[in-house]
Structure 1
Amino acid sequence: MPTANESSSLWSPFRHRLFRLLWFASLASNIGTSLHDVSAAWLMTSLTLSPIMIALMQAASTFPVFLLALPAGAIADVVDRRRLLLFTQTWMALAAAALSLLTLSGHVVPTTLLALTLIAGLGMALNIPVWQAITADMVPRHELAAAAAAGGIGFNMARVVGPALGGLLLAAAGPGPSGPGAVFMLNAVSFLGVIGVLYGWQPAPASRRFPVERIWEAMATGIRYGRRSARLQAILVRTAPFVFCASAAWSQLALIARTQVHATATGYGLLLASLGVGAVFGGTLLPAARRALSLDRLAGVSYGVFAAVLFAVSGARSVAGLIPWLLAGGAVWMFMMSSMNAAVQLVAPAWVRGRALSLHLLVFMAAFSAGSVVWGVTASKLGLPRTFVLASAGIVIGWLLTASHRLVTSEDTDFSAPESLA
């Protein structure tokens, strides 16, 4: 029987019907979300050129995930995951529809845009841990790494199609709220495919036997597990500085596009799509990279390449000059995020997997939210070029400070639920 350490084909998870259906449905939904994100960011730059307000767009979508990561992970381990996913998908669809109606009616202002981004982020906060946790219900354990990579490729394919299509739609619609408003409604509709697949899914009886725990008890158990698991701690420590510094690229790209390289909406969409293309390419290379490099070395490569990307962005003066660097940045972002996510699933026992994933998500979103705000404030004080030089230096320093935390995913752990974790 294959083990979790064995490399599976990237396509092997698609043999499983539920994984296949949800993958394609989530691809459509993620395209809608990417359309939404590019339109919302571009709309904000038309409402204000404040780097802080633009950075707050990223923070508004990620801070709820940080705030609710632990309870969301506990909920993912103790409630019906299918019903929770139906709730979160419907919540996000309604938030997108509300933003569409407000935008089309001409009532959107920066605070309205931030507020509804925050509301959608609440749904995403509850959605992410349970979505990640059901992967283990859909594929065998030895295919988890391949499933994580396939999921990442789908997500980043959407980040190729969505921004490029979004830029074209915004350019075709011209100035005014009609383009963003229509895109927001397309996003609302895009959730229907996932909702339909989930309605048709009947989980096996084994996947419904949840631990008899209250939410707060489950959270406390998850925290105690995180404190005792050196392997999980290493993953968290190596993730945090990378995400904190890399968030500069995500949070300030719209402003880079509009003010530094003087891109149109179509050009901004191409820049975002370049990150997605790079990530898809990185996902296809990931199985070979994992065979050739240890997880430690792969993380080191990701740190180094992204530091170079941030430094290059600081001096970019054209869309064409930015695209190759964003392709490279997308590839190593995929290397890092997919590998860390799969590593968490491999080191965490099934009884605490949702909470382990939520701890990883907590660290990721804390670093991303804090980084977005810090780099936004820095850009408002020092300008974009100096901000990206500082972010590049920061990612190198982060690697030097955390390299001693070795990443290990071998399977000599007791995966049974303990009687007590006091």
Structure 2
Amino acid sequence: MWTPLRQPVFRALWVASAVSSIGTWMHDVGASWLMTTLAPNSPLLVALMQAASSLPFFLLALPAGALADVVDRRKMLLWTQGWMLVVAALLGVLTIAHITTPWILLGLTFALSIGSSMNMPVWQAVTPELVTKEELPQAVTLSGIVVNLSRSIGPAVAGIVIATAGTGVVFLLNAASFVSVIFVISRWKRTDEKSALPTERFVGAMQAGVRYIRYAPVFQSVLIRTVAYIFFASALFALLPLLGRKELGLDAFGYGVVLGFWGIGGLIGAFILPKAREKFSIDSLVAIASLVMAAMMLALAYFRIVPLVWVVMLLVGISSLCVMVSLTVTAQTSVPSWVRARALSVQLLVFQGSMVLGSLLWGTLAQHTSISTALTSAAVGLIVCVLLTRRYRLRCAEKLDLQASLHWDQPRIAFEPCPNDGPVLITLEYRIDPANAEEFTKVMQAFSQIRRRDGAIQWGLYQDLSDPSRFVETILVESWAEHKRQFARVTNTDRVIEERVRAFHIGDEPPKVLQMIYSNPNRRPC
């Protein structure tokens, strides 16, 4: 599990992120506790803290992912870390000066989450750059250790600081924690791959990301399983501060201890997970851990004995780490590097969108009924969703080889169009035994997903009425630059499927390929 720490850059970022994560958990506890102080009789306002933290992810995740795939990821990390430092420091100063109101707290929580939402896709996207593919599950698990270790330390420290120095000091300590990350990133000598093609345009990059996900069934399974878990688990995340203060009668330190047991459970889960992955498939592991989470939510709905709550939170930590690491590893291994940040940003969008909607729903339900009713309803919903989503398999991602195959040959062309000229029409002519025409058509319909995923805005397959053995595949791409990018987007898994298609071709020569550019009378020379 510790092998990724042999990579010096990953090791330095891992240590720095641990410091920053402790500060983040201290900040979260301080902010939640401050809101229960400023608005003690409003479960909805307390739940809105979770919504304010999650909404920016829902709004900005995809633009952040597109930026992370087209700009220097190192510089983007520096900007986002700096933004969060400034916002946390401002909240600390206002709180110490007794200026903070519930709406100021919500606004600055929203602003801090803007930085986090811009930071997280690029942070996840650089992880595969720092370790080998074989080390990626361990690297994600180590990141989970950081989160859960900081969840154990941060809340307890926050409780002590709140009791002795006040909430404002907690916010200032969080601001200081970003300095370590900024220092490490500033010293990272990242090698950026140069391309002869122009950088993707921002809007086009977002469109390409959405198009890829639309035709990526394995990644769609990750998204569905993420919604099924987070929407219902958000009840615990949103209502735990109110449960601790009103139902359990805890002070700031006692609430920090409860969160600390959650973090200790996650730390235990990090050591259990590698053995569990050997004994269970990833789909079974996620299902079992989700059911454990549902059972613990039911327990929290009715247990009011603090030591029993500690035990429950240990199991919550174990189960939540198993689910989140499994979903994150599957997401990162089910998409190629050229679109990874955009895909991960969509997962974050789905994650935080589910968190926002869930927090609002369960907070509203708790305000009109009770915390116990809201937690019970969410637990039952989670159990039902585990059963309903079993057919969306995560294990399929383990079979994908997403390294670029680079096996396409560039057909001979008479002139080189400008990168932004287009659209481009590509045709491939196949010779197919008419007896195999129906099966060939079915295979090509499946193959069309790859074409669309890698850049085709239109795709079609046509059979010649005068010669039933002649089939023509048409691919329409937005621009010449986008078409040339397709050559680097074809993966080894795609190549296997392409070879299955080519096996139907009965001609002596390979399928004939033609490239045609839209004839625009106003086209300017490059």
TM-score of the aligned structures, taking structure 1 as reference length: 0.94
Q: Is the 2:47–2:359 contact (alpha carbons within 8 Å) kept by the matching residues of 1?
A: yes
Amino acid of the structure 2 residue aligned with 1:390: S
TM-score, scaled to structure 2? 0.76
1:153 is displaced (CA, Å) by 0.6
Q: Of residues 407, 411, 418 in structure 1, which corresponds to 2:399?
A: 411
**In the alignment, structure 1 residue 71 sits paired with structure 2 residue 59:** no
Among 2, 11, 18, which residue is 1:20 paired with? 11
Take 2:333 and 2:198, find their aligned partners in 1: how far apart are those partners? 20
Q: Which runs of 5+ in 1 are unaligned?
A: 1-9, 174-178
1:22–1:197 CA contact under 8 A, matched in 2: yes
Task: Verify the 8 A CA contact 1:263 1:319 in the aligned structure 2.
Answer: no
Q: After superposition, what is the alpha-carbon deviation per residue over 1:60-90, rounded to whole angstroms, capped at 9, x for unaligned?
A: 0111011111111111100000000000000
* More helix per residue: 1
Residue 233 (str. 1) matches residue 220 (str. 2):
yes
* d(CA) in 1 for partners of 2:164, 2:306: 20
CA distance in 2, matches of 1:54, 1:421: 46
C-alpha change, 1:403 and 1:200, in structure 2 (3 Å) is: same
Does the 8 Å contact 1:62/1:369 carry over to 2?
yes
Aligned equivalent of 1:45: 36
C-alpha distance in structure 2 between counterparts of 1:213 and 1:205, whole Å: 15
Per the alignment, residue 341 of structure 1 pairs with: 328
Match in the other structure for 1:284:
271
1-structure distance, mates of 2:98, 2:121: 35
Q: Which residue does 1:387 correspond to in 2?
A: 374
**Offset at 1:172?**
2.7
Indicate whether 1:306 and 2:320 are aligned. Answer: no
Q: Distance in 1 between matches of 2:244 and 2:402?
A: 50
Say whether 1:85 aligns with 2:64. no
Q: Runs ≥4 in structure 1, deviation > 6 angstroms?
A: 207-211
Q: Distance in 2 between matches of 1:167 and 1:421?
A: 54
Q: Deviations over 1:165-202 (max 9, x none)?
A: 111222234xxxxx101111011001000000011011
Q: Which residue of 2 aligns with 1:186?
A: 173
Equivalent of residue 254 in structure 1, options 238, 241, 249? 241
Which 10-residue stretch deviates more, 209-218 or 117-126? 209-218
Describe the superposition over 1:216-262 as per-residue Cα deviations: whole angstroms up to 9, x where unpaired.
Answer: 11111111111111100111111102101111111111100011111
**SS at 2:99 equivalent:** coil
> C-alpha distance in 2, partners of 1:298/1:385?
27
Asked whether the equivalents of residues 161 and 169 of structure 2 are also in contact (C-alpha less than 8 Å), the reply is no
Letter aligned with residue 88 of structure 1: T
* Identical positions, percent: 41
Going by fraction, where is strand more abundant, 1 or 2?
A: 2
Summarize the Cα distance change of 1:264–1:404 in structure 2 as closer, same or farther, 3 Å threshold. same
2:93 to 83, 91, 101: 101
Distance 2:277 2:322 in 1: 9
Counterpart of 1:365 in structure 2 is 352
The one-letter code sitting in structure 1 at the alignment partner of 2:285 is L
Query: How many Å apart are 1:355 and its aligned residue?
Result: 1.0
* Alpha-carbon displacement from aligned partner over 1:290-328 (angstroms, at most 9, x marks no partner): 111111101111111011011000002132121111110
What corresponds to 1:315 in structure 2?
A: 302
Q: In the alignment, what sits opposite 1:397? A: 384
After superposition, what is the alpha-carbon deviation per residue over 1:267-302, rounded to whole angstroms, capped at 9, x for unaligned?
A: 100111111111111112111111111111011111
The answer to whether the Cα contact below 8 Å between 2:334 and 2:400 also exists between their aligned partners in 1 is no
Displacement after TM superposition at 1:209 (Å): 8.8
Does 1:62 pair with 2:54?
A: yes
> 1:123 & 1:383 partners in 2: Cα distance?
34
Partners of 1:246 and 1:157 in 2: how far apart? 20
User: Residue 204 of structure 1 is aligned with which of 182, 191, 194?
Assistant: 191
Matches of 2:242 and 2:270, distance apart in 1: 28
SS at match of 2:387: helix
* Cα distance in 2 for residues equivalent to 1:305 and 1:211: 49
Give how far 1:211 is off: 7.0
Q: Is the 1:225–1:421 Cα contact (8 Å) retained in structure 2? A: no
Work out which of the residue numbers 242, 266, 273 in structure 1 matches 2:260.
Answer: 273
* 1:125 Cα deviation from its structure 2 partner: 0.6
CA deviation profile, 1:36-59 (whole Å, cap 9, x unmatched): 110110011011121110011011
Aligned to 1:117: 109
Give the Cα separation in 1 of the matches to 2:27 and 2:75. 25
Q: 1:228 to 1:314 in 2, by over 3 A?
A: same
Structure 2 counterpart SS, 1:409:
helix
CA drift of 1:356 comes to: 1.2
SS in 1 for 2:193: helix
Query: Distance between the aligned counterparts of 2:456 and 2:331, measured in 1?
Result: 19
Paired AA for residue 352 in structure 2: M
State how far apart, in whole Å, the 1-side matches of 2:159 and 2:172 are.
16
Compared CA separation, residues 208 and 12, structure 1 to 2 (3 A): farther
User: Any conservation in 1 of the 2:54–2:356 contact (CA below 8 Å)?
Assistant: yes
Count of aligned pairs: 408
- Structure 2 CA distance for aligned equivalents of residues 291 and 300 of structure 1: 16
Q: Which residue of 2 aligns with 1:420?
A: 455
For residues 21 and 272 of structure 1, the distance between their equivalents in structure 2, rounded to whole angstroms, comes to 26
Tell me if structure 2 keeps the 8 A contact 1:27–1:154.
yes
- Partners of 2:43 and 2:363 within 8 A in 1: yes
Q: Which structure is higher in RCO with an 8 Å CA cutoff and minimum separation 6? A: 1
SS in 2 for 1:54: helix
Structure 1 stretch displaced more, 405-414 or 309-318: 405-414
Shift of 1:212: 2.2
Q: For 1:216, what is the secondary structure of its paired residue?
A: helix
